[in-house]
Structure 1
Amino acid sequence: MEDYARAVLTLDDAQLELFVRDWVSNKLGAYVEVCRFSGAKDLGRDVVGFLTESKHEGDWENYQCKQYAKRLPTDTAICELGKILYYSWKGDFTPPSKYFFVAPKGLNRNLETLIFNPSKLKSAVVDEWDKYCRYKIIENGDIPLSDELRLVLERFNYSSVTRIALEDMLSDPAAKKVLFKYFGADPGMSPRGIVPPAILDSESEYIRQLVGVYAEKESVIINNHEELDAFPQCKKNLTLQRERFFDADAFKRYYRDNTDAEVIDGFEEDIYHGVVDVFETVHPNGMDKVQSVMTQAAAIQTSGATAKYARVPVKQGICHHFVNDGKFKWIS
């Protein structure tokens, strides 16, 4: 993590905003939409997470990104907070429900004291408006503290202002995908799959075809997987194949969530090209085809970020995903 902390410190202002935008976007379920505002018309916003479809007319949270060579100074932070409250008073948006300072170098001691004491932060914004905000929000401008503006400043919930430490951001699971995108971070090993007791609709096609393979092997009619109780070896084999299927399913979901989509696409392409010739070979029966493909899949050396984490059951389980997707058929 320390290496990535140093890497984040090398980002410039725009890159930091993009990094934070991607990180916030990965916070699954937290926001209905995430937007980055930049340039002279950002009105004090950097990265915004909207909590409702009402966007700026409803609840929203602001991530103020500051890439400084030193700790974020008090005057800069107070001015930024004052700016966003000023434009909320002007009617451009509602005040943010939460306000985060994202400063990789951290905050100076005085600013941290203010943030951890909301009443003191409020006093700094309201009582010292002329010092921090009046002449700095608009270049060559003057924004005196009118009674109406003072009311907006006093009503704001200053306990909603906080800072996000670099180590907290980088340890957030939502940061894994961003660290991979920007710095090629190792995504780590995926969790093993959990096999549900009941057959799911999402696995029905490869299960149906395996039942056909077992029926051919036993030279009997087997209408569905529930009839496999009469054939213990076939039932045992089905249990094994389901373990492989759900290991592959967990693998795919983990790397889609923590890397680029191209990583899993490339992994599946490696498996497909590694087994397709064996699959298309004429086999004496369906069971021989399944076993031959499973043996071949186990031996494939995949490439890319997942290579060292692609366990044998995962590579074998991907073949069942191919059946589910219509690329392969275990039996016609």
Structure 2
Amino acid sequence: MPGARRRRYAMSMGFHREILALEDEDLERFVRDWIARKTSDYVEVQRFSGAGDLGRDIVGFLTDRRHEGPWHNYQCKQYGRTLATSSALLELGKILYHSDSGEFTPPTAYFFVAPRGMGRDLEKLVFNPSELRTALIDRWNAVCAKKIVTGQTIALEGSLLALVNAFDFGQVKRLTVDDILGDETAAPVLAKWFGADPGPAPRGIVPLDVDVREQLYLGQLIDAYGERAGSPFDDHVAVGDHPEFGEHLQDQRKRFFEADAFNRFYRDNTLEEDLEALHDDVYHGVSGHYRGNHGDTLGRIDAVMSQAAAVTPGGLLARHARVPVKQGFCHHFANDGKFVWKR
């Protein structure tokens, strides 16, 4: 097994153990963080816990009508073994009973989040929805009737039986620890919970033509070169042909796109606050030099670039923030209006 692949495998196995070791409430919180990032379909993700959860753990609402509209339920089950059929049938009975009682509409999808997986009999039922319905009906008295509401016996009849028969059991699915680790959107959550290192970002690629994203900082750079030269440049092509400034401009564009590639990669693979913390460290590390007195605009830019190279940020992403990346952040600050190179 190649080295990089072996490291990824070892890391995956480490997270496998970490997830299996989570306590019940921590598993729910972990799943809530994951589901909130997993899909943009949900307008809201909520965690319900305690005696009043009515069979809900993590809920993803698909519309702002919340429980009056379509919603998905994620039932988290952290056991020392695989999820048993009786436990799963009880949870399904509970959610359908409370739906029939008018607490909420029936969920349009139901996920058992069982990190250790399901027992073989239950797995067979989940993959055969009509058999799952039949099992719930046949075993209602044994596993549901006296366990849904304390002190009551809930008979499967009337509107409740009709709801069970109408419910789409094809939307009952399983999610195991392998499903979680195999989902790319889980990477930021693994980073938050277990300090997962997402690895290095790809290198930036500088296009031949000016990208629309470059226009703000690049326009200020062109003005800075004109200020130093004593006469304005028409555009970046004219600067590129200049014997003194051409190479300098190429360096700045490379730095911008190194930072751009870095930002894009870690926005997808870490939590937003990790990237924001790194930006914040670099900004405060160079802001004094940015505000200092300099002979001209290009002098300010060079001073900030030199200081950016020396900044030692902290946090999860610091080890991957190479010198050109930190310098490129400063041009992004100019794009965002935090910096104005020509003051």
Q: TM-score, normalised by structure 1?
A: 0.89
1:298 maps onto 2:309 in alignment: yes
SS at match of 1:26: helix
Post-superposition shift, 1:293? 3.1
My pick for the range that moved more, 292-301 or 118-127, is 292-301
SS at match of 2:53: coil
Post-superposition shift, 1:121? 0.4
* Match runs of 1:194-213 below 5 Å: 197=209, 199-200=211-212, 203-213=214-224
2:87 match: 76
- Unaligned runs of 5+ residues in structure 2 are 1-11
* Match runs of 1:178-327 below 5 Å: 178-193=189-204, 197=209, 199-200=211-212, 203-222=214-233, 227-233=235-241, 237-238=248-249, 240-276=251-287, 278-280=289-291, 282-327=293-338
Partners of 2:305 and 2:327 within 8 A in 1: yes
Q: Return the letter of the residue paired with 2:237.
A: D
Q: For 1:44, which of 52, 55, 58 is the aligned residue?
A: 55
C-alpha distance in structure 2 between counterparts of 1:56 and 1:308, whole Å: 44
C-alpha distance in structure 1 between counterparts of 2:296 and 2:181, whole Å: 52
SS at match of 1:99: strand
Q: 1:174 to 1:331 in 2, by over 3 A?
A: same
C-alpha distance in structure 2 between counterparts of 1:230 and 1:248, whole Å: 25
SS at match of 1:145: coil
C-alpha distance in structure 2 between counterparts of 1:193 and 1:34, whole Å: 35
Q: For 2:179, which of 162, 168, 171 is the aligned residue?
A: 168
Cα RMSD of the aligned pairs, angstroms, is 2.4
* Identity, % of aligned positions: 49
C-alpha distance in structure 2 between counterparts of 1:297 and 1:189, whole Å: 19
C-alpha distance in structure 1 between counterparts of 2:204 and 2:140, whole Å: 57
Partners of 2:204 and 2:257 within 8 A in 1: yes
C-alpha distance in structure 2 between counterparts of 1:42 and 1:297, whole Å: 51
Q: 1:58 to 1:180 in 2, by over 3 A?
A: same
Partners of 2:225 and 2:232 within 8 A in 1: no
My pick for the range that moved more, 164-173 or 183-192, is 183-192
- Deviation per residue, 1:93-147 (Å, 9 max, x gap): 1211111101112111111111111111011012322122112111221111113
Q: 1:276 to 1:147 in 2, by over 3 A?
A: closer
2:9 match: none
Q: 1:294 to 1:110 in 2, by over 3 A?
A: same
- Unaligned runs of 5+ residues in structure 1 are none
Post-superposition shift, 1:214? 2.1
User: How many residues are aligned here?
Assistant: 328
Q: For 1:96, which of 93, 107, 126 is the aligned residue?
A: 107
Post-superposition shift, 1:236? 6.4
